[in-house]
Structure 1
Amino acid sequence: MRLRALLDTDALGLKLLGGEDELDRTVRGVMTTDLRDPSRYLSGGELVLTGLAWRRDAADSEPFVRILAQAQVAAVAAGTAELGEVPDDLVAACARHRLPLFAVHESVAFATVTEHVVRQVSGERAGDLAAVVDRHRRMMTSGPAGGGPDVVLDLLGSDLDLRAWVLSPAGRLIAGPKGAGGPALPADVCARLAAEHLAATRTGRRGPHRVTVGQTTYSLFPVRAGGRAPQGPPPGSSPRGARDVRETVLSDWLLAVEADAADWAEERLDLLHGVTQLIAVERDRREAARTVRRRLAQEVLELVQTGAAPAEIAARLRVAAPVLLPGLGTAPHWQVVVARVDWDGGEVAGGPVAQALLEEILVDPASTGPEHSDRIAVAHTGEEAIALVPLPSVTGEHDGSGTGILADALLESVRDPLTAGLEDDGRVTLGVSAAVHSAEGLRGALEEARHARRVAAARQGRVCAAGHQELASHVLLLPFVPDDVRRAFTARLLDPLRDYDRRHRAELIPTLEAFLDCDGSWTRCASRLHLHVNTLRYRVGRIEQLTGRDLSRLEDKLDFFLALRMS
């Protein structure tokens, strides 16, 4: 703001005592001081408010004003409460140094002047920043220049003193201010903010959404692809023609600002809306960059599903590897991940939603920026999303175990945010194959990942995953056996043993478990249970007598094994 504007505000009660020719100076801030030398706290452009406590006699005015002039402050405003009036020696010193001087009436608090100036300066900065944001958006939409969301986040920090971060729907940090100082946003806070944002979005409430974590309040602004208008709530409560929020709730980014936007002026809210539109441009750019990787994944998937010759699939993989692993070799190992998003009612197509979600959760949650996500290739067919994940080979040897993606670890950091976005009418299920090192193994890996996803779907919970390690025969079979059949089968085999143990404390159930774990070895089982072999034979004989089974037969051993797993 200009100094001249201070005189136009009657509520401030300012009287100009000198410096009429300098009223077009720009005020960039306010400082209140009674130090004799406040130079270390000045950066230029301030309106200096002083109660004159530094002045002991007339000789003190000259050095004080000289220090302010050298610091290039905008003006001085002196209070009259201490001396009743501004002393002539101060007026003369300001005149010599061409420093505008105001008198502040004793009825006006310095806080009133400070609040007014800060409000005006902040509004001017917001207007300047809005212009920068608009120019930046035009640059990004017309060419590759711009620098991504980090640039505008730094502007928010430097010009408006706002710390802000861009987060994925799963809570991954995509961008943050580099020059704002202070600690980075912790991963658990990112996950909490993403969960609160998704929960609020599912209700259909318009942003920004306010969340308090500990002692800090954050305002959450949705970043919607293509800069589209806010969406409505799910079917049943949305107005006619509104886009179903479930189509994008698991893929849209959010802008988290460390501030309470409840009392913000419309101008500042409009500015942040412009920032989200700018970030949406970058999101759309990254989405477009995924087109090539999606197409490669789709081509490989179609070859695998139609039974193409391994040589043909291998040729396609040689094309894909340099794109997905630039500079890291052309013969990686591969894993297949299958995901499905199901919504109650079936109005929303799950394939595209699962595709965008899988591209997100396959990115290392500790990574930032686009680098890692540029190596994710996801296709979708029907309601399934299928990811072809390259694993760089270092030694050229691989046994398909112990490396690569683990199903539980994949969902560990994103479970809470996704559960909030799925609310009560959605599920995410996911299956992971073992790693394979050749085209011949991809068809089996795809089927393995699909079977693992079916195992995950049989579990309880909104977000479930299973890996190839869980595909033993009993794991594949048990989830699909009806509960009443399971209970009857278990009771028929184990209830006689439980009743006997209850009456005689014979420990037949623990003995049966140990016997099966030792593959029917009498000596190993007796050693594990600290029993004589004859005692073990007696107990096993009692088990066979009570159940009518023979533990030397493979079929009966398998029945007992399954019954124990289901109990």
Structure 2
Amino acid sequence: MRLRSLLEVPELRLALVTGDDELDRVIRWVVTTDLLDPSRYLSGRELVLTGIMWRTSPGDSEVFVRALARAGVSALAAWDAVKGTIPDDLVEACARHRIPLFRVPEDVAFATVTEQVARRLSSARAADLTAVLDRHRRLVAGVTEGAGLGPVLELLDRDLGMRCWVLTPTGRVVAGPTPPAAPANLAHAFLTAPRLPHRHAPADLSLFPVAPDTTARVADWFVACAGDLADWPAERRALVSELTAIVALERARQDDRLSVPGRLTQELVRLVVAGAAADEVVPRLELTGLDASATFTIVSATSSGRLRPGELRTVLRETLPYDPVVGLLDDEAIALVQVEPGQDVAGEVHRTLHALAPGLGGDRLAVGVSDVVTAGELRGAVEEARYARRLSAGRGDAVSVVRHDELATHVLLLASVPDDVRHMFKVRLLDPLRTYDEEHKADLVLTLETFLQHSGSWTRCAEQLHLHVNSVRYRIQRIEELTSRDLSRLEDRVDFFLALRLA
């Protein structure tokens, strides 16, 4: 409601005393006060009503009006019922501070003014809400018909002058023209903001999460809108809330986990991990859009924090530089990436995940990346990536990426051994020791591992375990009796070393 509308309310009969060039100001609410300095109770754009009870001398008018101006009120309406006038010093102070001043008729109560203005404000807000809901219906219709978010943002810009962009935490622009700031800088501001929504002052943008209550920040999208949200009216804030809800719909629509392509992707990953024959894998590679004659890299990722498997999958898809096929196995995300020779997938993943690290909120991501392989070598590449991921998980960093060339040679060898062979090898060597440990609390497995770490040195092993050398000798003897192996033989030591690596 604008000030000039006050002059058109027949029930009020307000008269403008000064400020005819400020009548386009907007009124947000009505406040009645007789305090000399009411600024602490004002938040801006109010119509202030006063009976001038605060005035004890002409100088008080300057104090009172200056406080109103500092608080950003829209106008003042006054009448001194005792003296039957408005003092000249109050008129002069209002003119000096550019505060429009209205005279309230003696027979019109301030309660009547408040009631009439509040009624019109409610009507105006209802009309604004109707318009917002109408736009909302149009926007949702555009999204659900597959038009995407581009037309939605164009509509907001054209009809309301609201310039907005939709981005991911990696800085990818989902919808909108080129932002006025580098997308990577906006993404960093979104990830590091102590609270959301957040004003990015360098570009005069306000950043809003799309689904903060249901999605981790690193897996969410965000909306950047031009301007400072602190200056926006309630109607514009409501419209941004509607926009984020619409963006959330589009984000959910692009999640392919429940779609036919998504199910094909999941099936392909399961077949590759299970070591299925080529005649099963190749057709599914082609169905998911991959070239069976190309080369691939496998990426394995897990999270040790609150990041849910679906969110981990989203992060991994967003992180990989090429169009990946990503599936889930329990809490592990596995991606097949079709690459050309020389493309550095691990380097891209490392750079992007470290940019996302500030938004993890205490979560830890462990990632392993295999060598480049052909379609027939995918099973070994999965194991290679998994070993690399396990190595990265042991490093304890917020984000750790280990590539295949950081793995020891024996790890690469183990990656190519079938699952059932590795399992049987491990069971035969270590299960007797584990069973004995469970029954006698003997720590034979720990002793064996420590003994091998110190290259068979009785003294260093005893020092590490805080035992007497004879106790170590007794435990090693018990290990040899239970497994029918001789730890003085190099080949038996190698077997135990490999079995422990498979554990």
TM-score, normalisation: structure 1? 0.49
Change (3 A) 1:339 1:291: farther
Counterpart of 1:383? Answer: 331
1:41-440 → structure 2 map (5 Å cutoff): 128=131, 131-141=134-144, 144-145=145-146, 147-177=147-177, 184-197=180-193, 200=195, 207=196, 209-214=197-202, 216-224=203-211, 231=213, 248-288=216-256, 291-321=259-289, 331-343=293-305, 350-363=308-321, 375-391=323-339, 402-403=342-343, 405-416=344-355, 418-424=356-362, 426-438=363-375, 440=376
- The residue type equivalent to 1:459 in the other structure is R
**Identical counterparts, % of pairs:** 34
Q: Which amino acid aligns with 2:367?
A: L
Inter-CA distance 161–413: structure 2 relative to 1 (3 Å threshold): farther
- 1:304 CA drift (Å): 2.4
SS at 1:423 equivalent: coil
Question: Separation in 1 of the partners of 2:275 and 2:411?
Answer: 28
Give the SS at the match of 1:379: strand
| TM superposition shift of 1:475 | 9.3
Instruction: Return closer, same or farther for 1:266/1:279 CA change in 2, 3 Å cut-off.
Output: same
1:146-185 deviation digits (Å, cap 9, x = unpaired) = x32222323333444433221213333222246xxxx643
Q: 2:189 & 2:321 partners in 1: Cα distance?
A: 19
Deviations 1:337-372 (A, max 9, x none): 1111111xxxx57432321221221256xxxxxxxx
For 2:402, the equivalent position in structure 1 comes to 466
* One-letter code aligned to 1:382: D
Q: 1:212 to 1:301 in 2, by over 3 A?
A: closer
After superposition, the Cα gap between the structure-2 partners of 1:133 and 1:472, relative to the gap in structure 1 and judged at 3 Å, is same
Root mean square deviation, CA, Å:
4.6
| Offset, 1:275 | 0.8
**8 Å CA contact 1:133, 1:152 repeated in 2:** no
- The offset of 1:112, in angstroms, is 7.1
Residues 256 and 126 of structure 1, relative CA distance in 2, 3 Å threshold: farther
1:474–1:435 Cα change, 3 Å? closer
Which amino acid in 1 is paired with 2:262?
R
**Letter paired with 1:430:** V
Taking the TM superposition and a 5 Å limit, the aligned residue runs for 1:34-45 are none
Unaligned runs of 5+ in 2: 27-91, 101-122, 414-448, 461-503
Residue in 1 that maps onto 2:445: none
**1:295 Cα deviation after fit:** 1.7
8 Å contact from structure 1 (residues 211, 218) kept in 2: yes
Q: How does 1:528-547 map to 2 (within 5 A)?
A: none
Structure 2 counterpart of 1:552: none
Residue by residue over 1:96-133, the C-alpha shift from the partner in whole angstroms, topping out at 9 and shown as x without a partner, is xxxxxxxxx997699879xxxxxx99998897465323
Count, aligned residues: 333
1:386 is displaced (CA, Å) by 0.7
- Which SS does the other structure have where 1:413 is aligned? helix
Quick one: distance in 1 between partners of 2:391 and 2:171? 26
Q: Does 1:449 align with 2:407?
A: no
Say if 1:171 and 1:414, in contact at 8 Å, map to a contact too: no
- Name the CA shift for 1:109/1:412 in 2 (closer, same or farther; >3 Å): farther
Letter matched to residue 317 of structure 2: E
Deviation track 1:282-330 (CA, whole Å, cap 9, x = no partner) reads 1111114773333222212222233322222222223223xxx5xxx66
Taking the TM superposition and a 5 Å limit, the aligned residue runs for 1:1-40 are 5=5, 7-8=7-8
Q: Which secondary structure does the structure 1 equivalent of 2:262 belong to?
A: helix
| 3-state SS of 1:250 partner | helix
* Aligned mates of 1:283, 1:136 — CA distance in 2: 15
Alpha-carbon distance between aligned partners in 2 of 1:314 and 1:157, rounded to the nearest angstrom: 47
Off by >6 Å, runs of 4+ in structure 1: 1-4, 11-16, 105-113, 120-127, 474-477
The 1:112/1:189 distance shift into structure 2, 3 A limit, reads farther
The question of whether the paired residues in 2 share the 8 Å contact of 1:166 and 1:174 is answered with yes
**Secondary structure of residue in 1 paired with 2:359:** helix
1:442, 1:15 → 2: CA distance? 78
What is the TM-score normalised by the length of structure 2?
0.55
Contact 2:19–2:99 (8 Å) recurs in 1: no
Give, in whole Å, the separation in 1 of the partners of 2:128 and 2:181: 26
CA distance in 2, matches of 1:472, 1:213: 49
Contact kept, 8 Å, 2:326 with 2:333, in 1: the verdict is yes
Q: Deviations over 1:205-236 (max 9, x none)?
A: xx4x224453x443222212xxxxx52xxxxx
Paired letter, 1:410: V
| Residue identity opposite 2:331 in structure 1 | E
Q: 1:289 to 1:385 in 2, by over 3 A?
A: closer
Ranked by relative contact order (alpha carbons within 8 Å, sequence separation 6 or more), the top structure is: 1
Matches of 1:300 and 1:262, distance apart in 2: 49
| Helix, strand or coil at the partner of 1:169 | coil
Partner amino acid, structure 2, of 1:254: F
